[in-house]
Amino acid sequence: MGWLLRRGEVLASLEVDARVASAENGPSEVGALLRHDTRLITGFRARAGFDVAWLDAELVVRHLGHVGHLRVRLGPRAGQAVLSAERGAFERWKLAVGDQLEVRE
């Protein structure tokens, strides 16, 4: 487990996972999940929707969205990673396109 930061500010606890993003291995006790090398995220088996952000290789936010129950979303081609968190988390964090994120262990 690590931490998700923006300009030195801690946004959430973070789990980094290489598996395909889905509700099955989606948001849990940690504040957010980060998955590399995927653009696809699903809401199958999700009890509620969740926020998603597609990031480039430098962890810059390129697109923000939401995945609802039984939904599938494919992110933009520039997306190298997917960040997911409980619905409403990105609003609380004031996460925006262009934000540079950082991961600390």
pLDDT digits (tens, 9 = 90+) for 68-86: 766 676 667 777 889 989 8
How high is the pLDDT of residue 48?
73
More confident residue, 8 or 72: 8
DSSP E strand boundaries for the chain: 2-6, 9-17, 21-22, 32-36, 40-42, 50-55, 61-67, 72-74, 81-86, 101-104
Mean pLDDT of the chain: 81
How high is the pLDDT of residue 13?
92
For residue 16, pLDDT over 90 is answered with no
Query: Could you tell me if 27 and 15 are in contact, meaning their C-beta atoms sit under 8 angstroms apart?
Result: no
